[in-house]
Chain A
Amino acid sequence: MAGGASGIANRATSASKLRRATRDPGWAKALLISVAVGFIGLFVVVPLAVIFTEALRDGFGPFFAALSNPDTQNALQLSLLVVVLSIPLNIVFGIAAAWAIARFQFPGKGALITLIDLPFAVSPVVSGMIFVLLFGAQGVLGPFLDSIGVKIVFALPGIVLATAFVTFPFVARELIPFWQSRGAEDEEAALVLGARPWTMLFRISLPTAKYALLYGVVLATARALGEFGAVSVVSGHIRGKTNTLPLYIEILYGEYQFQSAFSVASMFALMGLLTLFAKWLLERRIAADIADEAKARDAGA
């Protein structure tokens, strides 16, 4: 660039031009923020407000009555039972899959990751239907199961299987990037110092990944409690017996018991907000864990 007075003047005008061209004008900023807030408001905040307003339309009395109703309680218990039975399976699988994928190189790794994502791509209705095709009366294993008196579809085992299917990828998907982003130095050190593999897993690998693991479990649990389509196919819709909470909401709505339906729905809205809070908290912890390790590695190098 040319020196002298004209050069300085040139630079001054280009600096102001630069600011103008890299920073959005005030009106554009205000407009874009309004559009973003309006969009999230319309699709997220207003629907939430509708749920609570409709739930409390007749006051707190009917609201609590709807929640303490025996049918609601039964549905809640079934939903919790399904979570307790399906999520541990996925935790064990998630840890195993993440360990294999994050810590080892092998052919077909990309394909395996794609297969783990499969349940997210399949329509919930199809996710439930495949278990009916496998275990239902007309299904492949139906006659056999019938002969030994085992009922899977239209009963608790079917709901657990369908829920395990739709929540299958969550834990693995959180653990894989976490372990990948952290090296294996700590684990190698433990092995060199004579730790057994299981000791290494329970004392080093899992404790360092606890927030990532918990994050996966939180997401899977929220989905398991709220799953509708897949469970709707495999449950027999026997009132008070095979109704999870989301299915019970549908029944209430179908019977025009709107206030009750929204009261139960408001519990889910609260759960959703709590999930968001937990997510926010855990994401910060996970980022801090990764940053700490990177710092320690730099200091050691």
Chain B
Amino acid sequence: MTRSRTALPGFGLSMGVTLTYLSLLVLIPLAMVPLRASSMGFDALYAAVSSPRAIASYRLTFGVSLGAAMVNAVFGVVVAWVLVRYDFPGKRILDALVDLPFALPTAVGGLALTALYAKNGWLGAPLHKLGIQVAFAPLGIGAALTFVGLPFVVRTVQPVLEDLDPEMEEAAAMLGASRFLAFRRVVLPVLAPAITTGFALSFARAVGEYGSVVFIAGNMPMKTEITPLLIMTKLEQFDYAGATALASVMLVVSFTLLLIINRLQMRLGRTKEPG
């Protein structure tokens, strides 16, 4: 197979089309951000990225994204476990529904969550009586970011759990481990790379998210204003320099996360293969 691989036609053409299209649609447009940012000069750039309003938006964006990714990590493992290990009526429907956040426009998800958690909403009303405000508060942003990142952990953990040989758990049991100990010492370490990957994917998605958050956040500067929204506000005010400065912060974070995720996925592929 390796011998004949080079005999296949079309390498030059397919590679040419790929690199041309990639450059025109993705690389050159993305290069505008560092290009524009570098023309601002260091002082102006630093002032724009370190304004109190910007700092407050980073704190909110990264803090809530982290919380949402953690919620998804915990519940994602439970959902994956239930889908792989148990049989129960409606299991297939549950499995299919996990992907809905990918299939539904983010704005529609945000709209639905806003109606659900508003003061007169199905869940918002009882929570309001308890003195908990979800919509137009950081908690609501957390709900939206949990929604958009929900499928990642389930879908990364599920295949690893399917490949996991039950003999390992049997061996642990033979050696006297309780079910809980076997899970913690045998199953969890095998799942850990997949959980980390899913967590990172969910976090990366949450950090850049815009559509679902704008409806539920209330968008008050310093309080419930996420960084993508602050970029949007600056663009609407034609403050392109300010928007570019914030966008370069977001891009650096995105690139770093992408590289980390790629590493994690490569490691995940390696541990999965010799099964």
Which residues on A are within 8 Å of B, measured CB to CB?
Answer: 14, 17-18, 20-25, 28-29, 32-33, 35-37, 39-40, 43-48, 50-51, 54, 89, 92-93, 95-97, 99-100, 103-106, 110, 112, 114-119, 121-126, 129-134, 136, 138-140, 161, 164-165, 168, 183-184, 187-188, 191, 197, 200-201, 219, 222, 225-229, 232-233, 246, 249-250, 253, 258, 261-262, 265, 268-269, 271-273, 275-277, 279-280
Instruction: Pick out which of these stretches binds chain A: B19-27, B43-51, B190-198.
Output: B19-27
Tell me the complex Cα distance, A99–B16, Å: 12
B274 at the interface (CB under 8 A from A): no
- Report whether B78 and A35 are in contact in the complex, using a CB–CB cutoff of 8 Å: yes
B240 at the interface (CB under 8 A from A): yes
**Measured between C-beta atoms, what is the minimum distance from B24 to chain A in Å?**
10
A114 partner residues in chain B, CB cutoff 8 A: 258-259, 262
- Report whether B11 and A100 are in contact in the complex, using a CB–CB cutoff of 8 Å: yes
**Contact A21 B172, CB 8 Å, known A118-B258, A226-B106, A265-B112:** yes
Residues of B within 8 A of A (CB-CB), count: 100
Q: Secondary structure at chain A's binding surface: helix, strand, loop or mixed?
A: helix
CB contact between B232 and one of A21, A32, A232 (< 8 Å): that residue:
A232
**Measured between C-beta atoms, what is the minimum distance from B216 to chain A in Å?**
11
Tell me the complex Cα distance, A104–B11, Å: 7
B179 at the interface (CB under 8 A from A): yes
B125 partner residues in chain A, CB cutoff 8 A: none
B5 partner residues in chain A, CB cutoff 8 A: 103-105, 184
- Report whether A122 and B146 are in contact in the complex, using a CB–CB cutoff of 8 Å: no
Q: Secondary structure at chain B's binding surface: helix, strand, loop or mixed?
A: helix
Tell me the complex Cα distance, A125–B254, Å: 13
Which residues on B are within 8 Å of A, measured CB to CB?
Answer: 1, 4-11, 13-15, 17-18, 21-22, 25-30, 32-33, 35-36, 75, 78-79, 81-83, 85-86, 88, 90, 94, 96-109, 111-113, 115-116, 121-123, 143, 146-147, 150, 166, 169-170, 172-174, 177-179, 182, 204, 207-211, 214-215, 228-229, 231-232, 235, 238, 240, 243-244, 247, 250-251, 254-255, 257-259, 261-262
7 A-B pairs with least C-beta separation? A226-B105, A123-B208, A21-B173, A228-B211, A47-B112, A229-B210, A96-B17
